[in-house]
Structure 1
Amino acid sequence: MSLERFRNSLREEVQIINASEFDIIIKETTTVPTITDSEITYSNLDTKEQKCKLIETCILYIDIRNSTDLNLTHRRETMAKLYSSFVRAMARAGGYYNGKVRNIIGDRIMVVFDSANCFTNAVDTAILMNSISQYVLNKEFPHNEIKCGIGIDYGKMLVTKAGIIKNGSENDSHKSLVWLGRPANVASKLTDAANKSSTETRTIVTEGYYYPLLEDKWLWIDRELEEFIDNFQTTSSQSIRHKSSHFDTFYKNIEETSQTNPPILMTKAVYDGFKRANPDRKCIKENYFKSQPTISVQGFKGDIYGGNVHFTVFNE
């Protein structure tokens, strides 16, 4: 096929799918669909329809922190063992509390849960995965290098089939289930933020005020850089003048504060659902999961909760 004919065939297919008479048929479900679900179809250009399913539930992602750095500092054989161990362990953990693994891309795994009891199952899965990361995988690698981030959200997702049908061994690589909606996007971004370290730098200016008539002649005040600048008056000359006649000197300090986010992050919807279902759990009574006001996710304005929680049986 010439490139021109190939271009024209693509244009025709895209126009058919996006035409007003092309129907998207949606059926609600409470169980996690599979790639073989006959009620979810690829775009049918002949019948001009595509069948999808809508599910309201929890979705979880997990991946390894600093995987790029690990690739640069370890031999290929070591990384092959690490990735195999991680994916095998986390895929098994994903199913322990009835989750369904629906995507594995490199070191990122996606787990979706049936709607029934989804809050408890999702959070328990996160705790299990965090336990495995800290007390199983890290025992096999020195310096506690294996750190994972886990993100969970809850809401409605439209499940579609995407790709094309190919003959032979290439068929599976050209098709997949696609999970459309805010929960998948937010959970993925929470995973990016979980167990991530950051350093904030700020400039502090210490002002010295001299009062010759007082017993304690010097007064020292720490100010943010902008506040320090605001204390100066503009003049008609090239000189500047401080608003206080007692201002005498100043010096500058650079302060650095470091923060590492909890390895498990979830939206308030997930936390509230888990709390309602498990009011007597120790992690709820003792507030193991706390609000994280310093963590933000692009496109999400709700509260985020996080914690470093594990099952004690793993560190015995």
Structure 2
Amino acid sequence: MFMSESFIPASEFETASNAVNNILGQPVEEIEITDILPPLNDISDSNKVFKGKLSVLFVDMRKSTDLTDELKSKKMVKVYRSFIRIVIQAIRYSGGYTRQFAGDGIMGIFQDSNVDDQIISSSYKATKAARYIHTLIDYCLNPALKKSMDICIGCGIGICTGTIMVTKVGMRGKESDETAENETGIVWVGSTTNYANRYCGLAHPCEIFIDENTYSEIEDSEVWTKTSRTKGSKIFEGYTVSEYYLSLPEEITTEAVKADKENDSETSFIQEIFAETQEKTLLLVDEISKKSAELSVALEKIKQRENQVIARDNDSRKENIRLQQWQSRLNSMQADVDRKEQENKEKEYSLHMSIFSQTFCKDNLIKLYGKDYWLELIQKMYELGAKIGKSKLQVEIDLDCYLVDIYMCFTMYEEAYNILCIQAKYSSWLNLRVFENVVRESGHWIAIKEILEKRVYEKKDYRECLDKLKSMSY
């Protein structure tokens, strides 16, 4: 027997009432998110919420409705699956988690992490994932779509960083029917999620739109442009960058295939102001025309005075030419002095560097000089390097193998490991025996493993060291 459409049984109303009262009557217990996001299955259907600082990334495909109208359904399935597969890979390989799908929209979550006592911010991971997505779409997916279907796609990406609460919502299966499925899901409570979604909607194809919090945590801030955009009556301020790709290996020669830039239906803040003031500007034209006649008379008087000034300027110009000639000679002499001074600084740097090369692998001699001597000399190299425009990292690259040798002689294993990572990343060779000793004595291996895997992927000759590391049971 089917119940009337206008009738709710008392038992069902009571079930709903009990559920609401139970939820409203329980206190909300906050659990700080620590090392990793809780697995979805570990979040209970209760007033317990996980709370923490996260970066939220939203991405969606542009003009997907138009594509669906143009392509047959089966082809569109391939487009959707390819797009979503690429986005998930970019989020996952950048240290994030994919948590929601809505049509062609996808949400990624990122949190801070600590690797070898170095904090990697959620903002860095999220912006890297966004660049990863745009790179794979324009260099991988679009070339394939262009070849097989003669189409290409674009997407906009929005990122926002802030405090978010995570909780489970929904309804478990009916108590009287064990076969009924649980209809529950996870919601991400907070304005951070809403703003990331809004920024995504305002981003143009191949553009990333981030908020102030995200911008404050990234290092490549100089490539971003401060932006104001409107959605309805609300103004959204942030930072944008377009076609900010990640680099690809040299052997990948595919050319980028980009989606056409769509006309944004939303007007910018400046455009709105212009539209409002344009009519007033036209009214001012008549008034300006009346004033122009008066200005013409005044202009004639100004020209007469200008001729007098020109005559005086001719005399001054001759004197200025003479002074410029003297200044040019002084500048040339100063340039010679600066060049000589720079050469002397470079010679001093090279002279001190020769001390390292002459004592390399001579452990007895290194120990004879003593630990304090070498630490002072290393600091001296940083100072000399700064005088010739070298950063601390560049100095360490110049001295990498020497520093590893010195630090190992004085059992400074942490320092030896850090320099070994620099040598692996920037140098063209590693001593297998030294590599094995440093890793074993320091007890560290995660960072060096990631570096070696990348170098091997780039076809650098580090396969032997990587195999050795794997054989050490790390």
- TM-score range (shorter-chain normalised) is 0.5 to 0.7
1:290 maps to 2:225: yes
Which structure has greater strand proportion?
A: 1
Deviation sequence 1:70-101 (CA, Å, 0-9, x none): 11111111100001101111111110111011
| Whole-angstrom CA distance in 1 between matches of 2:203 and 2:224 | 13
Amino acid in structure 2 at the alignment position of 1:189: R
Which of residues 119, 126, 130 in structure 2 aligns to 1:122? 126
**After superposition, what is the alpha-carbon deviation per residue over 1:173-212, rounded to whole angstroms, capped at 9, x for unaligned?**
x22211000110000111111116xxxxxxxxxxxxxxxx
- Residue identity (%): 25
Q: Does 1:78 align with 2:75?
A: yes
Amino acid at match of 2:187: V
The code of the aligned residue for 2:248 comes to V
Deviation at 1:299, TM superposition (A): 9.3
Between the aligned partners of 1:175 and 1:14, the Cα distance in structure 2 is 15
CA offset digits 1:229-274 (Å, max 9, x no partner): xxxxxxxxxxxxxxxxxxxxxxxxxxxxxxxxx6211101101111
In structure 1, the residue corresponding to 2:217 is in which secondary structure?
Answer: helix
Q: 1:8 to 1:168 in 2, by over 3 A?
A: closer
How far off its partner does 1:132 sit?
A: 1.4
Counterparts of residues 51-90 of structure 1 (less than 5 Å): 51-90=48-87
Structure 1 Cα separation of the partners of residues 180 and 81 of structure 2: 22
Maintained 8 Å contact 1:186/1:297: no
Tell me by how many angstroms 1:52 deviates.
0.9
Distance in structure 1 (CA, Å) of the matches to 2:38 and 2:233: 27
For residue 141 of structure 1, report the CA deviation from its aligned partner. 2.2
Determine if the alignment matches structure 1 residue 10 to structure 2 residue 16. yes
Letter matched to residue 142 of structure 2? N
Structure 2: gaps (5+ residues):
114-120, 254-474
Q: Which residue of 1 aligns with 2:472?
A: none
Residue 110 of structure 1: CA displacement? 0.9
Match of 2:89 in 1: 92
What SS class does the counterpart of residue 36 from structure 1 fall into?
A: helix
Q: How far apart, in 2, do the equivalents of 1:57 and 1:128 lie?
A: 19
- Is the contact made by 1:91 and 1:101 (CA closer than 8 Å) also made in structure 2? yes
Following the alignment from structure 1 to structure 2, what is the Cα–Cα distance between the partners of residues 265 and 175?
31
Task: Give 5+ residue unaligned stretches, structure 1.
Answer: 44-49, 197-261
Q: Relative to structure 1, is the Cα distance of residues 130 and 192 closer, same or farther in structure 2, using a 3 angstrom cutoff?
A: same
Find out whether 1:271 has 2:231 as its counterpart.
no
Q: Which residue pairs with 1:41 in the alignment?
A: 44
Change (3 A) 1:193 1:303: closer
TM-score of the aligned structures, taking structure 2 as reference length: 0.45
Q: What letter corresponds to residue 139 of structure 2 in structure 1? A: Y
For residue 300 of structure 1, report the CA deviation from its aligned partner: 7.2
Give the Cα–Cα distance (whole angstroms) in 1 for the partners of residues 214 and 127 of structure 2.
8
1:304 correspondence with 2:238:
yes
Choose the corresponding residue for 1:131, options 125, 128, 135. 135
Q: Measure how far apart 1:151 and its partner are.
A: 0.6
- Structure with greater Cα Rg: 2
How far apart in 2 are the matches of 1:70 and 1:148? 13
Name the aligned partner's letter for residue 98 of structure 1.
G
Shift of 1:298: 6.8
Q: Is the 8 A contact 1:130 1:264 kept in 2?
A: no
In 2, the alpha carbon distance for the partners of 1:291 and 1:168 equals 54
Contact 1:32 1:55 in 2 (8 A): no
2:37 matched residue in structure 1: 32
Following superposition, the deviation at residue 303 of structure 1 comes to 2.9
CA contact (8 A) 1:52 1:160 kept: yes
Closer/same/farther in 2, CA of residues 306 and 180 from structure 1, 3 Å limit = same
Residue 146 (structure 1) shift = 0.5
Query: Does the aligned pair in 2 maintain the 1:61–1:191 contact within 8 Å?
Result: yes
- After superposition, the C-alpha distances for 1:268-306 in whole angstroms (9 at most, x for unaligned) are 1101111xxx2xx5xx4xx3221112x135797663111
C-alpha change, 1:268 and 1:312, in structure 2 (3 Å) is: same
Matched, 1:179 2:185: no
User: After alignment, is 3-12 or 179-188 more displaced?
Assistant: 3-12
Aligned to 1:215: none
Structure 1 runs of 4+ aligned residues shifted over 4 Å read 297-302
Provide the rounded CA distance (Å) in 2 between the counterparts of 1:128 and 1:108: 16
Report the aligned-residue RMSD: 2.4
Q: How does 1:149-298 map to 2 (within 5 A)?
A: 149-166=156-173, 170-171=181-182, 174-195=183-204, 263-274=207-218, 278=219, 281=220, 284=221, 287-293=222-228, 295-296=229-230
Q: Per-residue displacement from partner, 1:43-69 (whole Å, max 9, x unpaired)?
A: 3xxxxxx21110112110111011111
- Contact map agreement 1:55 1:115 (CA 8 A) in 2: no
Structure 1 contact 190–297 (Cα < 8 Å) conserved: no
Measure how far apart 1:106 and its partner are: 1.9
Q: Residue 94 of structure 1: SS of its match in structure 2?
A: helix
